[in-house]
Structure 1
Amino acid sequence: MKVLFAGTPLNAARTLSSLHENGVEIVGVLTRVDAPIGRKKVLTPSPVAQTAESLGLPIIKANRVDPSVLEEIKLLGADLGVVVAFGAIFRTETLMALPKGWINLHYSLLPRWRGAAPVQHAILNGDATTGVSIFQLDEGMDTGPIHSIIPTEITPGETSGELLDRLTNLGISGLLEVIPRVAAGLAVTTPQDETAVATLASKLNRELAHINWNESAHQIEHLVCAMNPEPMAWTTLDGESFRVIAARALGAVDWAALEGTDFEAGSLVHSGNRVLVSCGHGSLLELKEVQPAGKQIMRASDWMRGIKSDQKVLFI
């Protein structure tokens, strides 16, 4: 069976490479157009485009499937489309263009966390489990019937980058089971669970990554993990942006035992070599890795050495 692969970011590129290595007949790749990267805004092919080129596969670059792109797709002669984070919703004419339609790999347990950032929202919400869903693509946003669901637990302290790596591996395994079933005409789908509450995983932005120190330390830990590696959780120190790369909640604290100290939310609390920040609901957050404005990522203890013990530090 001939497959057209559609995707853009690094996890999709890893999936493309693995499918190719495992003998899936990929006749072409659809990916988004080259995008400006870095401070110099150099136009750079997507990770999927770079992988497809290294594999010698035909490449179609487009941000949406218009009539001309649709004709290019049809000329490839694919039977099935496999979508992994392409970044656009396909219309009916595109969905009907391939004999066996399109299947989509999504990094959540649908219908939970439909949308652009399911991995980050699962961690941000404090979910204990997540997984991958492989479903038949329709015109809705991640609403099609399910081919396969593979659950997994979210490890405490796991970042979005780390979780996505694991989910990518699970997704590859799932696709290598589903694609042969589709090819053999043995695939069976089930509608998404209508009794489950569908949730939306909206796109991330810098404001969402801003730390609110009035929240509990556990909530802030979830935020720090969810925003790593992009866009990174941040706060403000002396009028400049200050990134928190890694942190751990310590939970409730007996404020009476620390009499005479200012525990305004966002205050730095000196405790030996540990860097603690007071948070809402009587909790403390231990900073592990930070990135002050204009500097490299460093251990929080190294950063704290430059702070005088009697100096008041307030993050806002």
Structure 2
Amino acid sequence: MSTTLEPSAHSSRQPRQRHARKKRFSPSRLGIYGFLIIAALFFLLPLYVMLVTSVKPMDEIRLGNLLALPAHLTLQPWSDAWQSACTGLDCNGIRVGFWNSVRIVVPSTVFSIVIGAINGYALSFWRPRGAGLFFAVLLLGAFIPYQVMIYPMVRVLASVHLFSSLPGIVIIHTIFGMPVMTLLFRNYYAGIPLELFKAARIDGGGFWRIFFQLMLPMSLPIIVVAMILQVTNIWNDYLLGLVFAGTRNLPMTVQLNNIINTTTGEKIYNVNMAATILTSVVPLAVYFISGRWFVRGIASGAVKG
């Protein structure tokens, strides 16, 4: 009996294997892979051109072969972009804008996250009188283009002598980041059981004690999401930095524009590409380092509601 069953079992396995191969290479699956490959090339090709151009000498760039690998590899454009690239008559490189961006991003991110967390906590659990109206106003502020409010904010900051200063640009980024941060934290805290808050109240916890000892330790996923969003938005900002920072505090994006659009000499494309990549290093590093925490925060209710 065993000898007669073996061929039939073997023959029944073969159609299943052929069916599995057909499933693995079905037209729909091939179409998905093709789309993903095209999308990856679409985004990676400009990065490849930037990297290749940034390590070529100008003599090779003038030949016009944009996609060719460098015949003579050089890192001098990177050094020039960081230390000696000119923004008009000032030739101190992109490093000046880098440290200005750090001084802007760090306090703006911290203040906007702290204020957003407190607002979201208060609106979720304490719900003071007028909380619904306050939240509606914040929500409205999140969807109004900030270009509309630039002129009024210029007048307000000028009246308190904070226009074109570091505290002024920090206040601006904190104000414009507060609606989105409040929305994120409110939706996150809405997923926490109300019974947990009531138990803390029965144990004698007040507003700040419950916030610091109970809510804040549970908020690490959403804090990472908020940090990634704020660091990326503030670091990549151009318009607000140009208007409110002043000439001594121009962020890296404004300095990059000044380097690329300088009219005091020839276009040094390798230095321009190196400066562009240096400007994008911080947001990329934040995403690569905190990517898994970002996914956890989203999955934990960061965009719920």
Give yes or no for TM over 0.5: no
Place the TM-score, normalised by the shorter chain, in its bin: under 0.3
Structure holding more helix per residue? 2
Structure holding more strand per residue? 1
TM-score, scaled relative to structure 1: 0.24
Larger radius of gyration: 2
